Structures are given as structure tokens and as C-alpha cells.
Amino acid sequence: YHAMVAIASEITCIQQHLKQLQIGDIQGTKLIYDNQAILHIASNLVFHERANHIEVDYHFVREQVLSREITTEFFHSRD
């Protein structure tokens, strides 16, 4: 989850720069990840109660997913 938070932060920063420069459509930048459990935590509010050990600032990813700034997609790491 730490890696996903770092990537989401970078994506958000780049999106803000592109928005300031008025370049392209930046909604729904795709974040592809190989851990289904983390993707569920990021996109599903039900997992919040089970993931209380995750610090508050790591819920940033979930907020970005819910606001559709970032979309997530699973892929197998063997691919």
C-alpha cells in the first residue's frame, strides 16, 4: 500500500501540472497494480473497518479513486 500511495501522489501532482497547463484530459488516470486486496481497500468503503491499522494519510488513494481522479486495474504479476 505504501508504493500505491507514492504512485497516487505522483499521479496527482502530474495531473495538477497538466491542468495548469491546460493539456489533455486528466480524469481517470489508470493505476495498474498486482495486488487485488490493496485495490479493494482503495476502492471499497467496506474494507475501511478491516484496515484501521493503515494510517489516515494512506486513505488518500481511496479518496482519489472515489473522486475518479485515479482508476485502478488489476494485472497478474506474472504478466
Cβ atoms within 10 Å of 53's Cβ, excluding its own: 6
Cell of 70: 485515479
d(CA 6, CA 1): 9
Q: Residues near 41 by Cβ (< 8 Å), separated by ≥ 6?
A: 1, 47, 48, 51, 54, 62
pLDDT in tens, 3-54: 888 888 898 898 888 888 988 766 778 888 887 877 777 776 665 555 666 6
For the chain, which residues make up each domain, given as ranges?
1-74
pLDDT of residue 47: 54
pLDDT of residue 1: 74
Cβ(15)–Cβ(23) under 8 Å? no
The distance between the two most distant Cα atoms of the chain, rounded to a whole number of Å, is 40
Cβ atoms within 10 Å of 44's Cβ, excluding its own: 14
